[in-house]
Chain A
Amino acid sequence: AQSVTQLDSHVSVSEGTPVLLRCNYSSSYSPSLFWYVQHPNKGLQLLLKYTSAATLVKGINGFEAEFKKSETSFHLTKPSAHMSDAAEYFCVVSERGTGGFKTIFGAGTRLFVKA
């Protein structure tokens, strides 16, 4: 069965320090994996995607994620947090299998950035 687990509901970092948002997934097929960001009162914006090409994926605003099949993980990182990074982040799995097309969002991780 397909599922997405975001291991932390809240993460708090200081400005200028690294960010790590963790995501584990399960999938019966070869999934596409995404990270989206949602700022308050704004729409979901795609940060980056993995589609079976390079396992280290670079996205917008300095974010990147590494696909690790052996660990079924797709953690999101950024070397140095900025105040504007404070938002809700969603890990997403999308695949087509015998059960049809499915897209599943994780429950989200809220990132707080302290000055």
Chain B
Amino acid sequence: DTGVSQNPRHKITKRGQNVTFRCDPISEHNRLYWYRQTLGQGPEFLTYFQNEAQLEKSRLLSDRFSAERPKGSFSTLEIQRTEQGDSAMYLCASSTRQQGSYEQYFGPGTRLTVT
């Protein structure tokens, strides 16, 4: 088990372009989460999946953002028409029920810079 992986690790794009990030969770983890972290702040919850179902979406997830987990394994996060305010670290985490809780294991993140 190699942990949660995210690709790419860094992405620089021009304003108005679309970007897509991928997250591969720990195998057999049924829950997958996306967060956004800006400099000097804690991660902010965006959305989460249980298997292939997207069960929760934060109001931070505007119409330009969409996330999928088509087969209940890897997930993608797409941002359309990127804006400079989208520049942040995008974190993915996965979990399964252990001893009464869903402790989350985080990937290294994808750092997005919108110029």
The interface stretch among A11-19, A46-54, A67-75 is: A46-54
How many Å lie between the Cα of A34 and that of B42 in the bound state?
13
Cβ-neighbour of B42 out of A49, A100, A102, A106 (below 8 A): A106
B109 close to A43 (CB less than 8 A): yes
The interface stretch among B43-51, B65-73, B75-83 is: B43-51
Question: How many residues of B are in contact with the other chain, CB < 8 A?
Answer: 25
Q: Mark B32-56, 1 if CB is under 8 A from A, else 0.
A: 0101000011111100100000011
The interface stretch among B12-20, B21-29, B94-102 is: B94-102
Q: Does A87 contact B (CB under 8 A)?
A: no
B55 close to A49 (CB less than 8 A): no
A103 close to B100 (CB less than 8 A): no
A113 to B: closest C-beta gap in Å: 20
Complex interface residues of chain B between 86 and 114 (CB less than 8 A to chain A): 91, 93, 99-109
A51 close to B101 (CB less than 8 A): yes
B100 close to A105 (CB less than 8 A): no
How many Å lie between the Cα of A51 and that of B55 in the bound state?
22
Cβ-neighbour of A43 out of B41, B100, B106 (below 8 A): B106
B42 close to A51 (CB less than 8 A): no
How many Å lie between the Cα of A107 and that of B93 in the bound state?
18
A104 close to B106 (CB less than 8 A): no
B60 to A: closest C-beta gap in Å: 12
Q: Does A25 contact B (CB under 8 A)?
A: no
Question: Which residues of A have CB within 8 Å of B33?
Answer: 103
Known: A44-B43, A90-B43. A103 touches B101 (CB 8 A): no
A46 close to B103 (CB less than 8 A): yes
5 contacts between A and B (CB under 8 A): A46-B105, A90-B43, A101-B48, A103-B104, A105-B42
Closest 4 CB pairs of A and B: A105-B42, A44-B106, A51-B101, A32-B101
